Chains A and B, each alone.
Chain A
Amino acid sequence: MAALVDGAPEPQESSPIPGQGKPARVRFVGAWWAPALALSGVGLVGAAEAQRSNAGREIFFNIEQGWAVYALMAALVGLLAYGIVRHATLWMIGKPTPGLLGEVPLRFRNALRLGIGQEKVRRDPYAGIMHTCIFFSIVVLTIVTAQVAIDDDLGLHFLQGDYYLFFSFYGDLFGLIGLVGVGMALYRRYFDDLHRIRWDERVEDHLIIGGLGLLLLSGFLVEAFRINVTELEQHPEWAKWSFVAWGLAEALNVIDLTEGQTLTGHVWMWWGHIVLAFAWLGLIVFTRLDHIFFAPVNAFLLRTDSPGRLATIENIEEQEVFGVGQIQDFTWKQLFELDACVRCGRCSEVCPANVAGQPLSPMHLIQDLKAHLASVGPDIQRAGHEEGDVRAVSPLAMTGEVIGDETLWACRTCGACMQECPVMIEHVPTIVDMRRYLVMDEARIPASAQQALENIEMRGHPWRGTTLERTTWMEGLGDVPLFDGSQEYLYWVGCSGSLVERNLPVTQSVFRLLREAGASFGVLGQEETCNGDPARRMGNEYLFQILAQQLVETFKAKQVQRVITNCPHCFNTFKNEYPQFDGHFEVLHHTEFLVQALDEGKLTPRFALDESMTYHDSCYLGRMNGQYEAPRQIIEVIDGAEFTEMKRTRSKGLCCGAGGGNMWQEEVGERRVNHVRTEEAVGTGADQVVSNCPFCIQMFEDGIPSIQPEEEGRIAAFDIAELLERAVLGPDGAGSDGARPAGAGAEAGTGASSTGQ
């Protein structure tokens, strides 16, 4: 199983085109520990060396009542324990979290690389550097402090000689690094007005960053006062190792204090520093500083399967509540997550709904739920304990009032939020769980979404009002083989591929390319039905389960083993969700098949296309399934194609706006998501925007006239298969239908006549 690195499975390991494989990206996984390890190694050597050199210092120099530090420490530990218990009692009102015991090694790896290694934090380079500085500084300075304690308490006295000097050096170095991080943080918070971290700013934010700055500064001052009266006089050459404090100590000389004054100053500074340190650590219990613990734990708890998979409601017919209507209907892991949120705003910054000014901001959604948990959680916990009516506790309906319907419906299930979240919060399952409640429990759905769902129930596809049939696309293609179990692949066309006018040419292109590549395949024609993806994402899990079970049966009866899909949503559902219904098939999106065929020489792009293009990553091929390379590799092999990336691309790509059932909904808000994305595509100056998803293409075609009112010079939206077909078969498809007898490449199958039926 592919490891979850970015919240998405790793891109396919084996690159279909030899020599074009991704260069192995060297990751310094969890590299944070390297310096610490190196330092402790040096420490050991230093301890041995200490025999020879006599550098060193007196611990608790000038300080009486040093024991008070341990009292403070005990208080801190007590406070942390209290914090954990207080939180945990709230999490426990949630339902059991299934599947947490599987894949434990992977979970530990996730905790290391995503939690402690902070891989996601670095997705924003500025924040990455800032946070890394602060993190390293705190880790190393904690080690420094621990060494001081060990040196004294255990009587080891290894802080001597050369190691002491080196210890002094790196202590100062990391203090300085910490100050750099704090400086960067202060800049963001106070000089960058529009920064996302200020979208939900609270007093604690100032305390945390101000406190840390003061803590580091006071640390240097304590050192400076000590050095001023000790080393500077006796061993100035030692003092220089503490290079920052040494500079400050020299500066103190300028003020010209008496030794007594300096010693008093040292005592005050020392206690100030210690109290500040414990106070700051105490903030962990009351502020978002708790992410120090929650982030790595949440990384451990992170799903180990694809983010494209939503959980099944087991035994759905026996449930009393469908989906999540009240806070205690969430699993405890979902509640835990709420507490992990650091209000960084990254999720909302990339959320297409939020970007378009629609009523959804994932950060606020998580924070609203968190506040709701804090407000009603204790009463619910008590009611549950006393076997009272838990559902009567909250005066507010969580789903509908705390989180409004329009917020839930605005979500595209695009996964951008989950991709960015540095503490690995999974927004999509949480949102869909609440939608499930709206749809199945309350039957409260926007009219247009309801029509799509009803249409799926009545007609087996979401496209109300289509006048096309599932066989219309076959017209003029010659023999279209029906799948009968003898062929290698089932070519799954999908509802959009057969029932939406714009997508028919895409289906036909894929078909011609399959035929050209000599693939052994067949189609289901009239027997195709909706695989349930829109129903599941719109919250009708019941309908989804019925459709999925039926289709799994059909596939099995027809002995389907390998499926090629037109649509990344079908692809995701077959690949990631059908295994939940015991449907295990090898699933390829057409881009993956095409890149393989190119690699094996079964398709040869013989025609140059002198066109400029940009590529739009669909969420369900990209983020949800980690496939970014195949489509780009196809573009690469096309002669003459001039390729420009959009600013938001690959895992940072912006959704076209159609996902999560929004294809069939009226949008509310300032702008439409497809307009925003079309604008970005147009901004590249390319003639074409190429994608791989029937919805994306429809959304672009819909958005283009609004963004480019002039017909002249408009960007055109194409599927990657249409593009490749032009390169392989020529502009008029002569390479196949003309030069070859139709159907020559296709394996024998029951020929469906081109007129359908």
Chain B
Amino acid sequence: MHFVVCAKQIPDPETPPAAFRIDEQSNEVVPAQGIAPVLSQFDGMAAEAALRVKETAGDDTKITVISMGKESAQAAIKQVLAMGADEGLLLEDDAFEGGDSYTTATVLSAAIEKLGDVDAVFCGRQAADWDMGQVGLGISELMNWPGSIIASDVQVADGKMSVKRVLADGFETVEVPMPAVVTVSNELGEPRYPKLQQIMQAARKTVNTMTAADLGLDASSVGAAGARLKLERLFIPEVGGDCDMIEGESPEEQAQALVAALREAKVL
């Protein structure tokens, strides 16, 4: 079998609030100084899910990790390689810049198409930067493969994928024919810690790069040019709070004053 894990490199979600800055002119997040970007945590879990299936399915299963991004995204790819993925593929092109979930899904689908023999695609439930949660389903749509989202467990047997999905009030297990797309949630568990041997092997592996042209994509269909979503304004909302002390001699009086104040504020 051949699995694909989609991995995105994102600004560190643990960037201290004081260091998080936005350029309101260009509507962009200013990369925080000295804080390295990281692999989106859900993508690490997607890799973990793929690796667990590979462990039960046997060694002839190959895992390719794909990332669309800049050169620096190599680090995210290497991280998944160190966990045990077999090959890495970086989709890098200036034309990919400024896209949205749709163009990302377009580019990733083209790459999956190019790989040819893919049996399953594992994505994180959402990228931990924009939290859109669209790309996985987008790939499923574009490939016309069944897609299951927010999985806490993934099993593969007899050409079928069985997915335990997290619902608001419990779990459901669905079974879909492969090839299929699945997005993985944190309920699956922490990604494994790589063995040093694998880290060193991963460091020696070369990551192939493909551009829009390699994928046979027209520059107008990807990146900012192909995006269907327009970002109007990016800003950090002002979160303010005021505190009024309720006066009163006794608790009863205080309670009455509080009720009065809440009525006045039209809360009650």
Residues of A that sit less than 8 Å from B by CB = 316-317, 322, 439-443, 445, 447, 450-451, 453-454, 458-459, 464-469, 472, 526-527, 542, 756-757
One digit per residue, 1 when the CB lies within 8 angstroms of any chain A CB and 0 when it does not, for chain B 196-227 equals 11011000000000000000000000000000
Q: What CA separation (Å) do A445 and B192 show in the bound complex? A: 9
Residues of B that sit less than 8 Å from A by CB = 12, 14, 16-19, 33-36, 38, 190, 192-197, 199-200
Q: In the assembled complex, how far is the CB of residue B39 from the closest CB belonging to chain A, in whole angstroms? A: 9
> Are B33 and A443 in touch, CB under 8 angstroms?
no
Q: What CA separation (Å) do A348 and B227 show in the bound complex? A: 66
Q: In the assembled complex, how far is the CB of residue B151 from the closest CB belonging to chain A, in whole angstroms? A: 20
> Are B14 and A464 in touch, CB under 8 angstroms?
yes
> Are B17 and A450 in touch, CB under 8 angstroms?
no
**Candidates A442, A466, A467, A756; contact of B195 at CB < 8 Å:** A442
The interface residues of chain B lying within 8 Å CB-to-CB of A316 are 196
> Are A458 and B192 in touch, CB under 8 angstroms?
no
The residue of chain A having its C-beta at the shortest distance from the C-beta of B194 within the complex is A443
> Are B195 and A459 in touch, CB under 8 angstroms?
no
Prevailing SS type, chain A contact patch: helix
Q: What CA separation (Å) do A466 and B34 show in the bound complex? A: 16
> Are B16 and A322 in touch, CB under 8 angstroms?
no
The residue of chain A having its C-beta at the shortest distance from the C-beta of B19 within the complex is A469
The interface residues of chain A lying within 8 Å CB-to-CB of B33 are 526, 757
The interface residues of chain B lying within 8 Å CB-to-CB of A465 are 14
Q: In the assembled complex, how far is the CB of residue B18 from the closest CB belonging to chain A, in whole angstroms? A: 6
> Are B18 and A443 in touch, CB under 8 angstroms?
no
The interface residues of chain B lying within 8 Å CB-to-CB of A439 are 193
> Are B16 and A468 in touch, CB under 8 angstroms?
yes
Q: What CA separation (Å) do A442 and B196 show in the bound complex? A: 9
Q: What CA separation (Å) do A505 and B44 show in the bound complex? A: 37
**Candidates A445, A459, A466, A472; contact of B193 at CB < 8 Å:** A445
The interface residues of chain A lying within 8 Å CB-to-CB of B190 are 447, 450-451
Q: What CA separation (Å) do A450 and B191 show in the bound complex? A: 10
Q: In the assembled complex, how far is the CB of residue B129 from the closest CB belonging to chain A, in whole angstroms? A: 15
A sample of 11 cross-chain residue pairs with beta-carbon separation below 8 angstroms, ordered by A number, consists of A441-B195, A443-B193, A443-B196, A447-B190, A454-B193, A459-B35, A467-B17, A468-B16, A472-B16, A472-B18, A526-B34
Q: In the assembled complex, how far is the CB of residue B161 from the closest CB belonging to chain A, in whole angstroms? A: 27
The total of Cβ contacts below 8 Å across the A-B interface reads: 51
> Are B200 and A317 in touch, CB under 8 angstroms?
yes
> Are B36 and A542 in touch, CB under 8 angstroms?
no
The residue of chain A having its C-beta at the shortest distance from the C-beta of B44 within the complex is A454
> Are A458 and B36 in touch, CB under 8 angstroms?
yes
The interface residues of chain B lying within 8 Å CB-to-CB of A464 are 14
Q: What CA separation (Å) do A232 and B39 show in the bound complex? A: 94
The 6 A-B residue pairs whose C-beta atoms are closest, nearest first, are A440-B196, A443-B195, A443-B193, A469-B16, A526-B34, A450-B193
> Are A458 and B18 in touch, CB under 8 angstroms?
no
Q: In the assembled complex, how far is the CB of residue A199 from the closest CB belonging to chain B, in whole angstroms? A: 35
> Are A459 and B12 in touch, CB under 8 angstroms?
yes
The residue of chain B having its C-beta at the shortest distance from the C-beta of A317 within the complex is B200
The interface residues of chain A lying within 8 Å CB-to-CB of B17 are 467
The interface residues of chain B lying within 8 Å CB-to-CB of A442 are 195
Q: What CA separation (Å) do A464 and B38 show in the bound complex? A: 14
> Are A453 and B193 in touch, CB under 8 angstroms?
yes
Q: What CA separation (Å) do A443 and B198 show in the bound complex? A: 10
The interface residues of chain B lying within 8 Å CB-to-CB of A458 are 12, 36, 38
Q: In the assembled complex, how far is the CB of residue B132 from the closest CB belonging to chain A, in whole angstroms? A: 23
> Are B34 and A440 in touch, CB under 8 angstroms?
no
> Are B16 and A466 in touch, CB under 8 angstroms?
yes
The interface residues of chain A lying within 8 Å CB-to-CB of B38 are 458
The residue of chain A having its C-beta at the shortest distance from the C-beta of B75 within the complex is A458
The residue of chain A having its C-beta at the shortest distance from the C-beta of B198 within the complex is A443
The interface residues of chain A lying within 8 Å CB-to-CB of B35 are 459
Give the one of B14, B17, B35 with max A CB within 10 A.
B14
Q: In the assembled complex, how far is the CB of residue A455 from the closest CB belonging to chain B, in whole angstroms? A: 8
> Are B200 and A440 in touch, CB under 8 angstroms?
no
The interface residues of chain A lying within 8 Å CB-to-CB of B12 are 458-459
The interface residues of chain A lying within 8 Å CB-to-CB of B192 are 443
The interface residues of chain A lying within 8 Å CB-to-CB of B197 are 322, 441
Q: In the assembled complex, how far is the CB of residue B86 from the closest CB belonging to chain A, in whole angstroms? A: 18
> Are A467 and B16 in touch, CB under 8 angstroms?
yes
> Are B193 and A322 in touch, CB under 8 angstroms?
no
Q: In the assembled complex, how far is the CB of residue A496 from the closest CB belonging to chain B, in whole angstroms? A: 15
The residue of chain B having its C-beta at the shortest distance from the C-beta of A316 within the complex is B196
The residue of chain A having its C-beta at the shortest distance from the C-beta of B196 within the complex is A440
The residue of chain A having its C-beta at the shortest distance from the C-beta of B83 within the complex is A443
The residue of chain B having its C-beta at the shortest distance from the C-beta of A454 within the complex is B193
Q: What CA separation (Å) do A317 and B190 show in the bound complex? A: 27
Q: In the assembled complex, how far is the CB of residue B24 from the closest CB belonging to chain A, in whole angstroms? A: 18
The interface residues of chain B lying within 8 Å CB-to-CB of A472 are 16, 18
Q: What CA separation (Å) do A316 and B197 show in the bound complex? A: 10
Q: What CA separation (Å) do A465 and B199 show in the bound complex? A: 25
The interface residues of chain B lying within 8 Å CB-to-CB of A454 are 193
> Given A467-B18, A542-B196, 7 more contacts at CB 8 Å?
A443-B195, A443-B196, A453-B193, A454-B193, A465-B14, A472-B16, A527-B34
Give the one of A439, A466, A467, A472 with max B CB within 10 A.
A467
